[in-house]
């Protein structure tokens, strides 16, 4: 490992006078003194640490989105996954001597964006002909908790398909909905009737009698005839903040606990899509969920878009994060799998005016008055107040071509003209250097953009070798959003070593927080068994969450962010420590972050009295362990920050163990 180089030792520093004795008897080297230059303080971005959310690794459907039923609208297709079709995740059940069948129905769609429904018919009623859905690897239910079931249903006269006789006599169809264990035990049950041949929404609440991490939903028709069904949905009533069509509470809370200052969404590659018809178009993701246009997710599955723009904005507001949507720059992904060889495609120029208007409409949807055309759509969804959008990403890792440039300029010029307060964030390719990076930066400078979005997934060594990357960036040019980054081990494991490389790098990001305004690790979420990309920050199953050391690093930096950077120096040129000191002007707290990415322990001394008046006790977190260590489902707490209180009056001596991150939070007196 290449040790992180300390910055040069300056004369005239506020060195320590009195110190506690060294903590580690095995240390032979003299303690390293940390001197803080409070007189050289500079403002840094108050929004520095945020999250990047993308529907990858089943991050949305089967993840953050609270829906428990998979393929609720029968829109799965082989286009999304060669093994899939409209019936995927559903099983026909015939209970107690019942006989019947099912078919796909496109004749009377619930909505043009939701073209397929399922028809269920009974020949022999028995104990019911029905459908069974196992959710996403099982439906987790908890004893005593309530689950909101809903379905769109109508009686149907499709009988001739099954033998020439209409099977529907116009009588209401008695139905039963159950949550069952895998061995058929009924954990919750309710009944309802379907009447008439117009679509109607039926809703009921189920209360689980027993906890089961892998239950299933069963819907039974218990009368003679046929019934068409669509949008068969089950949500825990207990979503994050109790929102309708809401988010899975434990996952959302985990993200909220990180206190992110912003959330970028909906991607990544998902944002620009593979083909022109696969771009993420925000208007398809708002309004009643049965009207949303479920579509192919380029990560190899289907996206329901139940978690859409309204829900993203709402979540940001709920957790105090700035929303940072990314819209396609009018071009598709240049690496399109479904259009192999086709490369980047641009929206035809004669459609670009309409597309530019679509982007402007998004800003109106977020910020416009409740009686404006798009603001009224937000109000209809229950949010008359604006969402106060400040940032807009245009493009994601696009190949910087003339096709891109022309469209990017049209969009950006229009936004700047109509909404000068919105910060447009440009894109500079998928790597830290190379042609798209260079061309993207050149375009950004030419257009005098406020910010560009840099991405790089690199070995831990690269991060450690480039701690000073932004020190020399031109402060008069566009600023930087480090929108996607992660240290990748050769085996893609979330090792402590990778997390500490990221931590060391973040000390450099804080130092350059006047230029780098935003930063987000990627990807955020990965459902075990369904990852297309590793490493991720957080892994989860239907019931549990696994925190990686990379997550702990992100959280420690985020909850201990500041808005003022206090330059500092280390007394030893050969120290491997990477250090940053920030102040949070609201609380007056000063936070010292010390990363030791090397295999040799060091000791650091510091006298807080030199740069402020603090309480005698400070909070300290230490994340340390074996560099190759990882957290596993069997041993999830192998790597976890230890929190303690330390005495800091009269100077402090801190152990910086080998392979560690230490965060010291000094509380203002």
Nearer to ligand AHR, 330 or 430 (CB): 430
Contact residue for ligand AHR among 73, 303, 334, 396 (CB under 6 A): 396
428 binds ligand AHR (CB under 6 A): no
Residue 187 parent element (H or E) = strand 186-194
Going through 328-431 in order, the beta strands assigned E by DSSP cover 391-394, 423-427
Residues in 26-55 at the binding interface with ligand AHR, rule: CB under 6 A: 54
Could you tell me where the DSSP H helices lie in 537-595? 549-559
Nearer to ligand AHR, 54 or 105 (CB): 54
301 binds ligand AHR (CB under 6 A): no
Contact residue for ligand AHR among 16, 56, 256, 537 (CB under 6 A): 56
Q: What is the smallest separation between the CB atom of 397 and ligand AHR, expressed in angstroms?
A: 5
Residue 566: which of 27, 34, 24 has the closest Cα? 34
Q: What is the smallest separation between the CB atom of 333 and ligand AHR, expressed in angstroms?
A: 9
Nearer to ligand AHR, 5 or 534 (CB): 534
Residue 197: which of 97, 93, 107, 68 has the closest Cα? 107
Residue 307: which of 354, 247, 352, 384 has the closest Cα? 247
- Catalytic residue (choose from 75, 397, 510, 602): 397
Binding-residue total with ligand AHR (CB under 6 A): 12
Residue 251 parent element (H or E) = helix 249-257
268 binds ligand AHR (CB under 6 A): yes
Report d(CA 301, CA 297) in Å as an integer. 5
Contact residue for ligand AHR among 53, 152, 533, 557 (CB under 6 A): 533
453 binds ligand AHR (CB under 6 A): no
Binding track over 147-176 against ligand AHR, x by CB under 6 A: ------------------------------
Q: What is the smallest separation between the CB atom of 373 and ligand AHR, expressed in angstroms?
A: 31
Would you put residue 241 in left (φ > 0), alpha (ψ -120 to 50) or beta? left
Stretch that binds ligand AHR, among 25-33, 134-142, 263-271, 371-379 (CB under 6 A): 263-271
Cα three-residue angle 566-258-449, rounded to 5 degrees: 65
Q: What is the smallest separation between the CB atom of 336 and ligand AHR, expressed in angstroms?
A: 13
266 binds ligand AHR (CB under 6 A): no
618 binds ligand AHR (CB under 6 A): no
549 binds ligand AHR (CB under 6 A): no
Nearer to ligand AHR, 294 or 334 (CB): 334
Side-chain-side CA neighbours of residue 637 (13 Å):
2
Residue 545 parent element (H or E) = strand 545-547
The DSSP letter of residue 346 is: B
Q: What is the smallest separation between the CB atom of 363 and ligand AHR, expressed in angstroms?
A: 23
Contact residue for ligand AHR among 63, 523, 542, 641 (CB under 6 A): 523
Binding track over 76-115 against ligand AHR, x by CB under 6 A: ----------------------------------------
290 binds ligand AHR (CB under 6 A): no
366 binds ligand AHR (CB under 6 A): no
Residue 88: which of 101, 78, 100, 99 has the closest Cα? 78
Report the residue closest to ligand AHR, judged by CB.
Answer: 268
Contacts of residue 109, defined as CB under 8 A and 6 or more positions apart, other chains included, come to: 115, 116, 117
CB 257 within 8 A of CB 245: no
Q: What is the smallest separation between the CB atom of 491 and ligand AHR, expressed in angstroms?
A: 18
402-418 vs 349-367: helix crossing angle, rounded to 10: 40
Contact residue for ligand AHR among 105, 364, 454, 484 (CB under 6 A): 484
User: Is 237 a known active-site residue?
Assistant: no
Contact residue for ligand AHR among 522, 537, 570, 590 (CB under 6 A): 522
Residue 515: which of 48, 32, 39 has the closest Cα? 48
430 binds ligand AHR (CB under 6 A): yes
Nearer to ligand AHR, 223 or 268 (CB): 268
Q: What is the smallest separation between the CB atom of 523 and ligand AHR, expressed in angstroms?
A: 4
Cα three-residue angle 318-320-322, rounded to 5 degrees: 110
216 burial via Cβ count (<10 Å: 0-12, 13-18, 19+): buried
Nearer to ligand AHR, 102 or 481 (CB): 481
Q: What is the smallest separation between the CB atom of 56 and ligand AHR, expressed in angstroms?
A: 6
| b (16+ CB within 10 A) / e for 460-498 | bebbbeebebbeeeeeeebbbbbbbbbbbbeeeebbbbb
Question: Residue 130, SS3?
Answer: strand
CB 131 within 8 A of CB 122: no
Residues in the chain: 669
Residues of this chain that bind ligand AHR (CB under 6 A): 54, 56, 267-269, 396-397, 430, 484, 522-523, 533
Known catalytic residues are 397
């Amino acid at each position: 490992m290449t040790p992180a180089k300390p910055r040069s030792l300056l004369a005239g520093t506020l060195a320590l006078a009195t110190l506690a004795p060294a903590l580690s008897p095995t240390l032979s080297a003299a303690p390293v003194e940390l001197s803080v230059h409070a007189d050289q303080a500079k403002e840094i971005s108050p929004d520095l640490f945020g999250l990047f959310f993308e529907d990858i690794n089943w991050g949305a459907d089967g993840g953050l989105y609270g829906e428990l039923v998979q393929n609720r609208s029968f829109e799965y297709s082989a286009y999304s996954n060669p093994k899939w079709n409209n019936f995927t995740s559903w099983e026909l059940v015939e209970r107690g001597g019942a006989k019947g069948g099912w078919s796909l129905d496109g004749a009377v769609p619930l909505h043009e964006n939701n073209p397929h429904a399922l028809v269920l018919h009974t020949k022999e009623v028995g104990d019911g002909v029905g459908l069974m859905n196992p959710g996403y690897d099982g439906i987790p239910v908890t004893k005593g908790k309530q689950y909101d079931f809903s379905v769109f249903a109508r009686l149907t006269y499709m009988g001739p398909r099954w033998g020439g006789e209409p099977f529907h006599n116009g009588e209401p169809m008695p139905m039963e909905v159950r949550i069952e264990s895998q061995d058929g035990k009924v954990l919750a049950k309710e009944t309802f009737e379907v009447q008439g041949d117009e679509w109607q929404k039926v809703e009921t609440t189920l209360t689980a009698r027993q906890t089961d991490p892998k239950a299933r939903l069963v819907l039974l028709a218990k009368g003679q005839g046929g019934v068409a069904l669509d949008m068969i949905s089950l949500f825990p009533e207990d979503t994050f903040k109790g929102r309708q069509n809401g988010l899975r509470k434990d996952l959302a809370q985990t993200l909220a606990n990180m206190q992110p200052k912003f959330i970028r969404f909906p991607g990544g590659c998902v944002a620009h899509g593979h083909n022109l018809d696969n771009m993420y178009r925000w208007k398809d993701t708002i309004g009643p969920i049965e009207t949303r246009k479920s579509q192919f997710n380029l990560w190899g599955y289907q996206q329901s878009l139940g978690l859409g723009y309204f829900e993203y904005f709402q979540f940001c507001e709920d957790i105090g994060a700035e929303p940072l949507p990314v819209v396609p720059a009018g071009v598709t992904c240049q690496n399109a799998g479904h259009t192999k060889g086709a490369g980047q495609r641009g929206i035809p120029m004669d459609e670009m005016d309409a597309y530019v208007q679509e982007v402007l409409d998004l800003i109106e949807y977020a910020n416009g008055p409740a009686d404006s055309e798009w603001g009224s759509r937000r109000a209809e969804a229950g949010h008359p107040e604006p969402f106060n959008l400040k940032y807009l990403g245009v493009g994601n890792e696009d190949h910087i071509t003339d096709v891109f440039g022309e469209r990017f300029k049209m969009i950006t010029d229009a936004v700047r003209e109509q909404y000068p307060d919105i910060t447009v964030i440009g894109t500079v390719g998928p790597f830290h250097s190379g042609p798209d990076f260079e061309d993207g930066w050149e375009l950004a400078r030419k257009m005098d953009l406020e910010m560009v979005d840099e991405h790089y997934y690199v070995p831990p060594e690269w991060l450690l070798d480039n701690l000073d990357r932004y020190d020399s960036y031109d402060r008069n040019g566009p600023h930087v959003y480090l929108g996607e980054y992660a240290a990748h081990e050769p085996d893609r494991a979330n090792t402590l070593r990778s997390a500490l490389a990221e931590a060391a790098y973040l000390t450099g990001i804080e130092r350059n927080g006047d230029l780098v305004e935003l930063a987000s690790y990627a990807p955020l979420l990965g459902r075990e068994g369904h990852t297309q990309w590793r490493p991720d920050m957080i892994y989860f199953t239907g019931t549990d969450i696994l925190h990686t050391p990379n997550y702990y690093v992100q959280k420690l930096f985020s909850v201990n962010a500041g808005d003022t950077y206090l330059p500092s120096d280390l007394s030893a040129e050969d120290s491997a420590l990477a250090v940053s000191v920030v102040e949070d002007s609201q609380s007056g707290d000063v936070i010292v972050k010390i990363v030791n990415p090397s295999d040799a322990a060091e000791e650091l001394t510091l006298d807080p009295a030199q740069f402020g008046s603090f309480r005698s006790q400070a909070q300290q977190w230490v994340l340390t362990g074996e560099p190759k260590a990882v957290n596993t489902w069997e041993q999830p707490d192998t790597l976890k920050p230890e929190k303690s209180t330390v005495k800091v009056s009269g100077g402090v001596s801190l152990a910086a163990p080998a392979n560690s991150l230490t965060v010291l939070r000094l509380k203002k007196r």
